[in-house]
Chains A and B, each alone.
Chain A
Amino acid sequence: MKARWIHAGVFLYGSVLLSAALFAQGGQRGIPAADPKNAEKPFDKHDLSGFWTRNGSPGGYGGGGTCRDCGDRGFGNDVPSFTPLGQKMFDANKPSYGRNLGTPDAAAHPEEHIGRRRAVPPANGTDPYQYCNPMGPSRALIYPDPVEFVVLPDRLYQHFEWGYGLRTIWTDGRKPLMDPDLPRWWGYSAGRWDGDTFVVTTTGVDERTWVDHFGYPHSVDMVLEERYRRTAYDVVELDMTITDPKIYSAPWKSQTKKFRKLEKGTIKSIEGWSGLLEDICAPADEVDQFNKRVRDPAGGVVR
Chain B
Amino acid sequence: MRTFCFLLLIGGLLISMSAFAHHGTGVSYDASNPVTLKATVTEFRYANPHPQLYFDVTDEKGTVVHWSGEFYPNPAQLIQGGWGRKRSTDALPFGAKITITLAPSRAGTPVGAILTLLNEKGEVIMGVAGGGPGEAPRGGAPAPSGAGVPR
Contacts and interface: CB of A to CB of B under 8 A. Distances in A.
A65 B135 contact: yes
Interface centre among A19, A63, A143, A278 (most CB of B within 10 A): A63
Interface SS of chain B: helix, strand, loop or mixed? mixed
B34 interface: no
B27 A119 contact: yes
Contacts of A61: 76, 80
Contacts of B86: 270
Interface stretch (A44-52, A168-176, A230-238, A293-301): A293-301
A9 B146 CA distance: 12
Interface string A1-31: 0011101111110111011001100010000
Contacts of A274: none
B28 A121 contact: yes
A97 B135 CA distance: 11
Interface residues of B, number: 64
Interface centre among B3, B23, B87 (most CB of A within 10 A): B23
Contacts of B3: 8
Given A15-B15, A289-B45, A299 B68 contact: no
Interface in B3-34: 3-4, 7-8, 10-12, 14-15, 17-19, 21-25, 27-29
Interface centre among A8, A279, A281 (most CB of B within 10 A): A8
A293 B48 CA distance: 15
A62 interface: yes
Contacts of A18: 14-15, 18, 137
Contacts of B7: 8-9, 11-12
A285 interface: yes
A28 B29 CA distance: 23
A12 B79 contact: no
Contact of A64 (B29, B106, B112, B137): B137
Given A100-B27, A123-B28, A15 B141 contact: yes
A250 interface: no
A277 B81 CA distance: 15
Given A281-B49, A293-B68, A294-B69, A63 B25 contact: no
A96 B12 contact: no
Contacts of B25: 96, 121-122, 295, 298
Contacts of B82: 270
Contacts of A120: 27
B107 A19 contact: no
B144 to A, nearest CB: 4
Contact of A8 (B19, B45, B134, B144): B144
A236 B29 CA distance: 37
Interface in B55-87: 68-70, 73-77, 79-80, 82, 84-87
A98 B21 CA distance: 8
Contact of A298 (B23, B105, B145): B105
Nearest to B78: A62
A285 B75 CA distance: 13
Interface of A: 3-5, 7-12, 14-16, 18-19, 22-23, 27, 57-59, 61-65, 96-100, 105, 119-123, 143-145, 161-162, 268-270, 277-282, 285-286, 289-290, 293-295, 297-301
Q: What are the nearest 3 A-B pairs in CB distance? A: A300-B107, A63-B134, A270-B84
